[in-house]
């Protein structure tokens, strides 16, 4: 037999029907590859080492990355505020509180709270694990004393506290150090059953928010930027949903956008960081600006041309928003308004764009977006200016919740 007469060799693989990527269905592993932190927490509690702060009822259970269920409390929450949100984008935190108030939920906005101090930790490393764990546990102890469950506003606090949790669970010497410190402060050693981010609260409330929606968002196209410290720093705990991105990307933010009838548009650098950099955003912003605009904003513009970009963390809103101004001088293709999911949700329910959402603290022009939402921004700004004039004449007075 010559070579030309040979029967073609049929390898077994040639018989396999390989599905196209688009037709494949993602399946979770039968057993999560990670340890169950709650089991370890309860074991430490049973051994008398720590007290576990239970998620109060009512709560909603949601799926996390590897299919475990996570409890997200609806109320009786201790609002662990974010320094970047409260300091530079105050409409972010205000919108979270406003949503809670609209639903009549009991919550506490404490003065006995420090920042997690992790922005500084990741920027300068002028701290150590014992200090970071003590700062976290001091806040948690205060939440217990106040009778509430911590709801974390900042993505970095959320990620860092998960990191602290892993260190405490695995290192008895660290637990001993923290125990000694808390004893000096006369505080109990408690750790919450779940680390819960406010955007998870927004996610589980999305249908309720949609029921109260008064503004039509159906013409609005949104790109979503997920915060690195939400779903990468410690991958456990982040919310995933089989109906969103086939369960392969976190469902956070995209879930509420979909529930409110707006369109989520995909883009190729969805997984990329915003460029915040912790140290960079404050003292080396040429990097932050370049990354935010070239890798994120321009990609979104070219591939999705959204009306707004939504994210769910302090640094991401700041970096994506503020980086756009100066890059216009370089004729970069920028100009996308940036806000948080909480502000977007609040606007859908009729919140005032300036008195509640405080959009005048943001950089990119929001007016076209507000018009698309059916908001008379000129009238709204006049209302804000009237309030500001009144406050200017009365230095001891403040805008109250009742007035908004």
Partner 1 sequence: MNPIYKDARYTEVPYEEKLKLFDAVKSDMRYPHELHGCYECGICVAACPSARFFDFSPRVFAQTMAREDVHSFYELLNDNVWDCSQCFSCTCCPRQNNPGGIITIMREVAVNDGLQSAKDALQAYSRIIYKVMSTGTQVSPDMLQPDFFPDWGPDVRDVSLNLDVWRRAIPPETMHTVELAWDVSEKTRLELYMIWKLTGNLEMIENVDEGLYMILEEVMEELLEEHGYDIDDFDNILED
Residues 240-279 that bind partner 1 (CB under 8 A): 271-273, 275-279
Sheet holding 77-80, edge to edge: 107-108, 77-80, 149-152
Which ranges of 187-279 does DSSP label H, i.e. alpha helix? 198-204, 206-211, 228-231, 254-259
* Surface-to-core class of residue 57, CB atoms within 10 Å of its CB (0-12 exposed, 13-18 middle, 19+ buried): exposed
Our finding on whether 93 is near partner 1 (CB under 8 A) is yes
Our finding on whether 109 is near partner 1 (CB under 8 A) is yes
Q: How far is the CB of 14 from partner 1 (least distance, A)?
A: 28
State in Å, rounded, how far the first CA of the chain is from the last one: 91
* Cβ atoms of residues 142 and 188 within 8 Å: no
Per CB under 8 A, the list member of 130, 145, 265, 380 interacting with partner 1 is 130
Using CA atoms, how far apart are residues 262 and 338, in angstroms rounded to an integer? 15
**Would you tell me how many other CB atoms lie within 10 Å of the CB of residue 94?**
23
Q: Which stretch binds partner 1 (CB under 8 A): 1-9, 144-152, 245-253, 353-361?
A: 353-361
Q: Token digits for 354?
A: 């300036």
Our finding on whether 387 is near partner 1 (CB under 8 A) is yes
Our finding on whether 219 is near partner 1 (CB under 8 A) is no
Our finding on whether 2 is near partner 1 (CB under 8 A) is no
Our finding on whether 367 is near partner 1 (CB under 8 A) is no
Residues in contact with partner 1, shown as a per-residue x/- string from 300 to 339 under the rule CB under 8 A: ----------------------x--xx-------------
Q: What is the DSSP string of 357-395?
A: S-GGGSSS--HHHHHHTT--HHHHHHHHHHHHHHHHH-T
Window 131 to 160, contacts with partner 1 (CB under 8 A)? 131, 134-135, 138, 142, 159
Residue with token string 């900042």 = 154
Our finding on whether 26 is near partner 1 (CB under 8 A) is no
Q: What is the DSSP string of 153-164?
A: --HHHHHHHHHH
Residues in contact with partner 1, shown as a per-residue x/- string from 169 to 198 under the rule CB under 8 A: -xx-xx--x--xx--xx-x-----------
CB of 76 or CB of 82, closer to partner 1: 82
Our finding on whether 161 is near partner 1 (CB under 8 A) is no
Our finding on whether 290 is near partner 1 (CB under 8 A) is yes
């Amino acid at each position: 037999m010559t070579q030309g007469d040979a029967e073609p060799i049929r390898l077994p693989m040639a018989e396999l029907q390989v599905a196209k990527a688009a037709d494949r269905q993602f399946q979770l592993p039968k057993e999560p590859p990670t340890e169950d932190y709650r089991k370890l927490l309860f074991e430490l509690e049973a051994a008398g080492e720590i007290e576990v702060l239970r998620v109060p009822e009512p709560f909603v259970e949601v799926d996390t990355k590897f299919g475990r269920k996570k409890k997200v409390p609806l109320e009786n929450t201790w609002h662990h505020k974010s320094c970047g949100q409260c300091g530079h984008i105050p409409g972010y935190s205000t919108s979270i509180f406003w949503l809670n108030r609209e639903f009549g939920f009991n919550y506490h906005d404490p003065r006995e709270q420090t920042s997690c101090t992790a922005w500084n930790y990741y920027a300068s490393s002028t701290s150590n694990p014992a200090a970071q764990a003590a700062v976290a546990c001091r806040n948690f102890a205060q939440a217990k004393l106040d009778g509430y469950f911590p709801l974390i506003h900042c993505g970095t606090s959320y990620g860092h506290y998960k990191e602290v949790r892993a260190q405490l669970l695995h290192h008895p010497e660290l637990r001993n150090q923290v125990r000694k410190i808390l004893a000096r402060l006369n505080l109990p050693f408690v750790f919450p059953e779940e680390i819960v981010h406010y955007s998870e609260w927004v996610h589980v409330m999305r249908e309720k928010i949609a029921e109260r929606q008064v503004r039509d968002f159906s013409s609005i196209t949104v790109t979503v930027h997920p915060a690195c410290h939400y779903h990468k720093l410690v991958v456990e705990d982040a919310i995933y949903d089989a109906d969103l991105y086939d369960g392969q990307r976190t469902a956070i933010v995209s879930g509420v956008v979909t529930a409110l009838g707006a369109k989520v548009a995909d883009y190729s650098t969805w997984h990329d960081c915003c460029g915040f950099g912790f140290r960079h955003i404050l003292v080396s912003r040429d990097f932050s600006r370049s990354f935010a605009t070239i890798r994120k904003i321009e990609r979104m513009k070219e591939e999705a041309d959204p009306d707004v970009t939504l994210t769910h963390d302090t640094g991401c809103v700041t970096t994506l928003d503020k980086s756009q101004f100066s890059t216009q001088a370089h004729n970069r293709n920028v100009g996308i308004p940036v806000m948080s999911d909480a502000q977007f949700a609040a606007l859908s329910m009729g919140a005032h764009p300036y008195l509640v959402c405080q959009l005048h603290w943001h950089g990119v022009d929001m007016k076209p977006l507000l018009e698309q939402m059916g908001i008379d921004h000129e009238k709204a700004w006049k209302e804000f200016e009237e309030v500001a004039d009144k406050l200017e004449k009365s230095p001891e007075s403040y805008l109250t919740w009742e007035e908004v």
